[in-house]
């Protein structure tokens, strides 16, 4: 039969299963990113219902925090933004020890002054709540004089789901919590915080989340992360790692100050340019354990000192006899986390990242951090950053760091088609899908060639199609994801790729999160199929064919990337067919989705003939011979 051609992606494929192979597909090639950007955490993984719950940035025209509405005809709204004054501390949130980034308007509190008796306060609308589930509501409040505060969860029509009262006292902020249970599911609920006496109420932070959350995260989103098979999770960035101060995470979650993005609205467009620090180190490690992923942590070498980076490592890996291991143990986590994989920053050498941006400057800074981190935990693996592939950086950075860092980071994104002109659709689709092999493979080959003569390995820790975070998904991206992973499996060992992380799944390509549910986009469907090969022994690994053996079952994933033509596969050495499923679609443009159907497969004398329709994926499970 004809061999695969990029010009003939529909060419027939014949494969004989190799039952003697001992090669295993590394689970570390099934990685993902969890970066606090756009809607990955806020509006995604986070279980928080409220927007702007820590009152960041500037106020609206009426002095009320953006995202909230004012209540009261005789009320005045303003922000408290400093640590002094007649009222004592004007804010509630703060940063942890060692914070030194130059950022703005991260620490505000909402002030409400009621000049006459009458209902005054703030509210937030269009909140989705589930019926019959208690919601944990907490407020950090204080007042000039003792004040009764009403907290009401209202339905969209104004009726009350549930309500309660709390007392704000003079002096320091006090965090007070209560449970509010919606009477029914409501996509237009409102939360109102009010008082009806003269005086001033100060709110430092507000929180509302369902009581069945997991470390402040949505369980339905976590289940989808399990479904797509994430085995390695890189956090907190990406670009956001340059904003992150890990010691803020040692503070209670409501007290942690928001973090203004150096890149402004490019990375935090849905949250006014700020991250609210909903996930700390303990939460991240708990999430990794819950979904079965290896944690991969990126430090902030621009704004943290080498000592602070080493303290982070010690917090994760030190026993209770070490200073920071003791802090972790005292927080309720006595057993060391054993985080093996650490990245020395992100995308050094690019103008959008702060810190040393020359290979010599970055290498000097990275070494200082690396040596301290290795002293804290000698067995860890460190990955250095850079604008790779780049020969100057290989010679003057990567090779200079080989004694402390044996891995370098590679990032590459493929441009998604415009899909505007129907006459160009097939051409655009073919060019895009081809890049899953050619463009990404070229980057791997080029960097591998530059590293020749060294033992340095590659962490392909960001890949995707631009800009998955600004559009709805499509079957094009599902085919692209399957094609990329097939290419990666075939070439990782050859070019020294030991880790790979898609960027990123939650609300940016694979998992679409809605207020009431989470669902897989087509790329997520592809990942859910390909995950079956993690840790499997290879039985066939050819263009568009991945077959592995685990637990007495051979799983074979087939891909027809062609735009308009069928593709025939011949598989030899097959056992009894246990299941065969086809994922197909009538189109490839945004909003297109895969439809699942049974795939008839017959084995005659150990040979199976399978025909796949255009732009489809099939998965066949068969008994091991």
Residue 147 pLDDT > 60: yes
pLDDT tens track for 229-283:
999 999 999 999 999 999 999 999 999 999 999 987 788 999 999 999 999 999 9
**Phi and psi (nearest 5°) for 31?**
-95, 170
250 domain-assigned: no
Containing domain of residue 190, as a range?
69-210
Shared domain for 204 and 141, answered yes or no, is yes
Measured distance CA(504)–CA(509) in Å, rounded: 7
Shared domain for 152 and 200, answered yes or no, is yes
Which of 526, 407, 530 minimizes the C-alpha distance to 461? 407
Shared domain for 106 and 37, answered yes or no, is no
Residue 92 pLDDT > 90: yes
Which of 585, 516, 569, 34 minimizes the C-alpha distance to 291? 34
The side-by-side arrangement of strands in the sheet containing 120-129 is 69-71, 120-129, 186-195, 147-154, 160-168
263 domain-assigned: no
Q: Specify the higher pLDDT residue, 9 or 493.
A: 493
pLDDT tens track for 191-240:
999 999 999 999 999 999 999 999 999 999 999 999 999 999 999 999 99
Residue 362 pLDDT > 60: yes
2 domain-assigned: no
Shared domain for 524 and 584, answered yes or no, is no
Contacts of range 251-254, beta carbons closer than 8 Å, 24 or more positions apart = 251/94, 251/96, 252/175, 253/207, 253/216, 253/277, 253/278, 253/280, 254/54, 254/92, 254/93, 254/138, 254/140, 254/175, 254/204, 254/205, 254/207
At 436, which CATH number?
Answer: 3.20.20.80
Calculate the CA 383 to chain-centre distance: 19
pLDDT tens track for 489-504:
999 999 999 999 999 9
Are the C-beta atoms of 350 and 357 separated by less than 8 Å?
yes
Q: Among 516, 534, 552, where does a domain finish?
A: 534
pLDDT attached to residue 83: 57
From 82-86, 193-197, 321-325, the region with the lowest mean pLDDT: 82-86
Shared domain for 194 and 293, answered yes or no, is no
Measured distance CA(127)–CA(383) in Å, rounded: 41
Write the burial class of residue 251 (CB in 10 Å: 0-12 exposed, 13-18 middle, 19+ buried).
Answer: middle
Q: Which two tokens stand for residue 57?
A: 């940035």
Measured distance CA(397)–CA(377) in Å, rounded: 23
At 130, which CATH number?
Answer: 2.60.120.260
pLDDT attached to residue 263: 83
Shared domain for 352 and 388, answered yes or no, is yes
Q: How confident is the model at residue 2 (pLDDT cuts 50, 70, 90)?
A: very low
Are the C-beta atoms of 225 and 511 separated by less than 8 Å?
yes
Tell me the residue ranges of DSSP E strands in 347-495: 381-384, 407-415, 457-466
Sign of the alpha-carbon dihedral angle for 278, 283, 289, 294: positive
Give the chain's largest Cα–Cα span: 89
- The reply to whether the predicted model has a pTM over 0.85 is yes
Q: Among 503, 534, 565, where does a domain finish?
A: 534
What is the per-residue burial (b if ≥16 Cβ within 10 Å, else e) of 440-463?
bbebbebbbebbeeeebbbbbbbb
**Phi and psi (nearest 5°) for 249?**
-70, -10
pLDDT attached to residue 86: 47
Measured distance CA(441)–CA(213) in Å, rounded: 40
Residue 532 pLDDT > 90: yes
Shared domain for 445 and 482, answered yes or no, is yes
Decide the pairing of beta strands 341-343 and 147-154.
unpaired
Shared domain for 121 and 198, answered yes or no, is yes
DSSP letters, 209-269, are EETT-BTTB-HHHHHHHHHTT--EEEES-SGGGGT--GGGGGS-TTTBPPEE-TTGGGT-T
Per the prediction, the chain carries an average pLDDT of 95
Which element (helix H / strand E) includes 495? helix 475-495
Are the C-beta atoms of 239 and 263 separated by less than 8 Å?
yes
At 579, which CATH number?
Answer: 2.60.40.1180
Q: Which two tokens stand for residue 569?
A: 């596969």
Shared domain for 511 and 542, answered yes or no, is no
Residue 85 pLDDT > 80: no
Which of 288, 303, 172 minimizes the C-alpha distance to 247? 303
pLDDT attached to residue 9: 83
Q: Which two tokens stand for residue 509?
A: 């390509």
474 domain-assigned: yes
DSSP state of 397: I
Measured distance CA(34)–CA(71) in Å, rounded: 37
257 domain-assigned: no
What are the residues whose beta carbons fall under 8 Å from the beta carbon of 620, sequence distance 6 or more? 555, 556, 557, 558, 571, 577, 579, 580, 581, 599, 601, 608, 610
Q: Interhelix angle for 306-317 vs 281-291, to 10°?
A: 50
554 domain-assigned: yes
pLDDT attached to residue 425: 97
Residue 158 pLDDT > 50: yes
Shared domain for 152 and 178, answered yes or no, is yes
pLDDT attached to residue 88: 57
Q: How many domains does the chain have?
A: 3
pLDDT tens track for 15-25:
999 999 999 99
268 domain-assigned: no
Shared domain for 313 and 356, answered yes or no, is yes
Shared domain for 399 and 456, answered yes or no, is yes
pLDDT attached to residue 1: 40
269 domain-assigned: no
Which element (helix H / strand E) includes 426? helix 425-435
């Amino acid at each position: 039969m004809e061999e695969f051609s990029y010009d003939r992606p529909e060419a027939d494929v014949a494969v004989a299963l190799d039952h003697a192979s001992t090669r295993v597909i590394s689970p570390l090639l099934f990685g993902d990113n969890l970066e606090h950007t756009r809607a990955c955490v806020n509006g995604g993984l986070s279980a928080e219902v409220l927007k702007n719950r820590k009152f960041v940035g500037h106020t609206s025209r009426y002095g009320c925090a953006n995202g909230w509405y004012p209540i009261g005809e005789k009320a005045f709204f303003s922000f408290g933004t400093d640590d002094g004054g007649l009222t004592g501390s004007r804010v509630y949130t703060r940063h942890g020890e060692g914070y030194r980034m130059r950022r703005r308007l991260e620490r505000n509190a909402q002030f409400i002054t009621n000049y006459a008796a009458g209902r005054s306060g703030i509210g937030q609308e269009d909140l989705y709540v589930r019926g019959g589930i208690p919601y944990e509501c907490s407020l950090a409040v204080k007042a000039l004089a003792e004040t009764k505060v009403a907290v009401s969860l209202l339905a969209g029509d104004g009726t009350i789901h549930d309500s309660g009262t709390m007392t704000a006292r003079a002096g320091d902020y006090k965090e007070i919590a209560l449970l509010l249970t919606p009477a029914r599911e409501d996509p237009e609920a409102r939360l109102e915080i009010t008082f009806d006496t003269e005086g001033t109420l100060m709110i430092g932070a507000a929180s509302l989340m369902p009581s069945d959350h997991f470390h402040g995260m949505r369980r339905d989103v976590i289940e989808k992360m399990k479904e797509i098979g994430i085995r390695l999770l890189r956090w907190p960035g990406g670009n956001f790692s340059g904003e992150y101060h890990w010691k803020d995470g040692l503070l209670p979650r409501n007290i942690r100050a928001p973090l203004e993005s150096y890149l402004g609205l490019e990375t935090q467009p849905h949250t006014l340019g700020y991250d609210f620090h909903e996930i700390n180190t303990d939460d991240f490690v708990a999430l990794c354990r819950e979904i079965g992923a290896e944690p991969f942590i990126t430090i902030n070498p621009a704004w943290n000192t080498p000592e602070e980076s080493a303290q982070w490592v010690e917090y994760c890996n030190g026993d209770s006899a070490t200073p920071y291991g003791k802090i972790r143990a005292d927080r309720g986590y006595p057993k060391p986390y054993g985080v093996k994989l650490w990245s020395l920053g992100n995308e050094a050498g690019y103008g959008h990242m702060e810190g040393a941006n020359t290979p010599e400057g970055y290498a000097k800074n990275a070494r200082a951090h690396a040596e301290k981190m290795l002293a804290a935990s000698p067995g860890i693996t460190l990955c250095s950053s850079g604008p790779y592939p780049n020969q100057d950086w290989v010679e003057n950075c990567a090779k200079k760091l080989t004694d402390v860092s044996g891995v370098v980071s590679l990032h590459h994104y493929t441009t998604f088609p415009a899909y505007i002109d129907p006459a160009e659709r097939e051409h655009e689709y073919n060019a895009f899908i081809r890049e899953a092999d050619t463009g990404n493979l070229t980057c791997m080959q080029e960097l591998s060639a530059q590293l020749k003569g060294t033992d340095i390995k590659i962490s392909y820790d960001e890949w995707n199609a631009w800009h998955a975070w600004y559009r709805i998904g499509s079957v094009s991206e599902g085919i692209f994801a399957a094609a990329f992973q097939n290419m990666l499996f075939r070439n990782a060992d050859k070019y020294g790729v030991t880790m790979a992380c898609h960027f990123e799944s939650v609300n940016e390509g694979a998992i679409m999160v809605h207020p009431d549910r989470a669902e897989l986009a087509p790329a997520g469907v592809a990942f859910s199929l390909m995950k079956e090969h993690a840790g499997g022994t290879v039985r066939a690994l050819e263009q568009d064919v991945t077959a592995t053996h685990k637990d007495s079952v051979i799983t074979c994933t087939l891909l027809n990337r062609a735009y308009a033509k069928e593709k025939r596969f011949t598989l030899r050495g097959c056992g009894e067919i246990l299941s065969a499923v086809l994922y197909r679609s009538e189109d490839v443009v945004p909003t297109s989705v895969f439809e699942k159907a049974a795939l008839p497969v017959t084995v005659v004398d150990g040979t199976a003939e399978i025909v796949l329709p255009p732009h489809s994926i099939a998965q066949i499970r068969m008994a091991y011979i």
